[in-house]
Amino acid sequence: MSDSQPVAPSASTTDASTAKWYHRVGPGLIIACVVIGPGSITTSSQVGATHGFALMWVVLVAVVFMMTFMQMGARLGSVSSQSPLEILSEKIGRPLAVLIGIGTFFISASFQFGNNLGVDAAVKELSRDLLSPDSRESILPLLDYSIVAFNALAIAFLLAFKNLYRALERLMMCFVGLMLISFALNLSFALANQAPPPAAELAEAATTPLLDFSLLGLVGTTFVITAAFYQTYLVQQKGWTRKDVANGLLDARVGSVLMALITLMIMCTAAAVLRGQPLKNYTEVASQLAPLFGTWGRPLFCTGLFAAAYSSFLVNSMIGGFILADGLGLGSRPDQPATRGLTVTVLLIGMGVALFVIKLDFDPVPAVVAAQAVTVLAAPLTAWALIWLTNQKDIMGEDTNKPFSNLLAWTGFALLLAMATYTAVAKVFPKISTWLEASA
């Protein structure tokens, strides 16, 4: 048997009908935390401010595809004691597993600096409301290094707990609660300031959905295939087995509903009170909310932003570290040196790039383009691998994909291919051409 078998499960396997609610959820909540990050908040706010409620349907479509792949990951993790890439290496060959592992690692590392910048922005914006101008001015140089402290805290968290999964699950539940409260209160303030109520526009959006290239960014920040793939690892760390498949499916649905709910709350807040505002990033969203909602507007939003950024901060690094370690055949358990070491590497890369951006005004575009280039290959390949694994009778037994699941899965795969093609043609190739012309 592979060394990928989970150790120290966080909860005993229990019949789905009698298990306490907190034994029936967990991995899906963790995945929801990594999906709702600074990029998701920025994109949702921009789409809401630009298009109002007209693209709400895109969130629902993206969440349906995300839930489909999360459920596939949950079933695979429940029925197999081997990790996904260990199975792939045995069935197809180690090179494919290595390719997926490297691709996922570079995606996580390339975008980790965005999570660092989100934490940095949240801390600095909160300081505007919690400190006097003189006090804030005196400690502002120190705030530039706040991400060093938060990375140190993340590394300590990663190394301190023998049962890392249990600690992570409890922490992510707290972050989900913070996001729900913060963004729900912001939305309630927005609706209180909105006149007339947006019921007519909501009805119009439901009956005449708008098609726009903005939807690609919105889909891309919600339908995150590497996170869905990581669901398998979390389910195994939770200790679920074949008799817990129903728990895994319920958990994936709960996580997906939370993703949709939080994303829609952010989008609707922007649609209600920030219509027509040119929002470039989450800092501008916070600044625009301050005069509209009074004293508590910006702190509430920044609390949600911090919860989103720091939860993504932790889990995104684990996705890159764990999947690369698994692809290289170095193990996939939280207690193994390779998984923790590679996770720390993702954290340090993200912190380093973010510090260059904050202190030296470093242009992060090359890192973003590199991540986009890797995503073009890695995202469809990872989706294909999960579909292939969950259709193998010798792996899944009676829990192979049903026809409708396969229909949704292959449609999602086609969507990822379309997004990869668009990213390559419209973003990666033009930027590379510009750099080549400039260097000629």
Quick check: helix, strand or coil at residue 325? helix
DSSP assignment letter at 21: G
pLDDT band at 360 (very low <50, low <70, confident <90, very high): confident
- Which tens digit of pLDDT belongs to each residue from 41-88? 888 888 888 888 888 888 999 999 999 999 999 999 999 989 999 999
Please work out, in degrees rounded to the nearest 5, the angle formed at the alpha carbon of residue 156 by the alpha carbons of 150 and 160: 150
Residue 88: what pLDDT? 95
Tell me what the mean pLDDT of segment 314-321 comes to. Answer: 94
Residue 394: what pLDDT? 92
Residue 322 one-letter amino acid: F
Inter-residue contact 4 to 86 (CB < 8 Å) = yes
Identify the residue with better confidence: 24 or 353.
353
Question: Is the pLDDT at 10 greater than 50, yes or no?
Answer: no
Question: Is the pLDDT at 11 greater than 50, yes or no?
Answer: no
Closest-CA residue to 355 (of 135, 5, 120)? 120
Tell me what the mean pLDDT of segment 385-395 comes to. Answer: 95
Inter-residue contact 115 to 37 (CB < 8 Å) = yes
With pLDDT > 70 as the criterion, what percentage of the chain qualifies? 87
Question: Is the pLDDT at 320 greater than 50, yes or no?
Answer: yes
Classify domain 21-362 at the CATH superfamily level. Amino acid/polyamine transporter I (1.20.1740.10)
Mean pLDDT, the chain, as a whole number?
84
Residue 357: what pLDDT? 85
- Spatial distance between the Cα atoms of 197 and 144, rounded to a whole number of angstroms: 41
Question: Is the pLDDT at 202 greater than 80, yes or no?
Answer: no
Residue 82: what pLDDT? 92
Tokens describing residue 204: 């119009």
Name which of 14-23, 184-193, 329-338, 387-396 the model is least confident about: 14-23
Question: Is the pLDDT at 235 greater than 80, yes or no?
Answer: yes
Q: What is the distance between the terminal CA atoms of the chain, rounded to a whole angstrom?
A: 55
Tell me what the mean pLDDT of segment 92-114 comes to. Answer: 91
Residue 256 one-letter amino acid: S
Closest-CA residue to 349 (of 332, 364, 369)? 364
Sorted by where each begins, the domain ranges of the chain are 21-362
- Spatial distance between the Cα atoms of 112 and 357, rounded to a whole number of angstroms: 13
Residue 19: what pLDDT? 57
